[in-house]
Amino acid sequence: MACLAFLAGHYAVPENSRLLYFGQAFFAPGSLFGAIISCCFALRGYLHGVRKFLVLTVASAIAYAVAFWVAVGVEVYSPFLNNQERGDVSGQALFVGGMTGALCTLCAFSLLLNSGITWQNRMFRALCWTPAGGFLGVAGWALGPSLGVALGHIVHSMNLASPTETFQNAKGQASYFISTWAAWQAGMGFALGLVVRRKNSTA
pLDDT range class, residue 48, cuts 50, 70, 90: confident
Surface-to-core class of residue 88, CB atoms within 10 Å of its CB (0-12 exposed, 13-18 middle, 19+ buried): exposed
Determine the straight-line distance between the first and last CA of the chain, rounded to whole angstroms. 24
What does the pLDDT read at residue 52?
A: 92
Q: Give the residue extent of every domain in the chain.
A: 15-196
What is the arithmetic mean of pLDDT over 76-91? 76
Q: Which has the higher per-residue pLDDT, 159 or 127?
A: 127
Query: pLDDT per residue over 94-115, tens digit each?
Result: 999 999 999 999 999 988 887 7
Residue type, 74: V
Backbone angles phi, psi at 86, to 5 degrees: -70, 140
What pTM, to 2 d.p., does this model score? Answer: 0.80
Nearest to 162 by CA among 2, 7, 54: 7
pLDDT surpassing 60 at residue 192: yes
What does the pLDDT read at residue 7?
A: 43
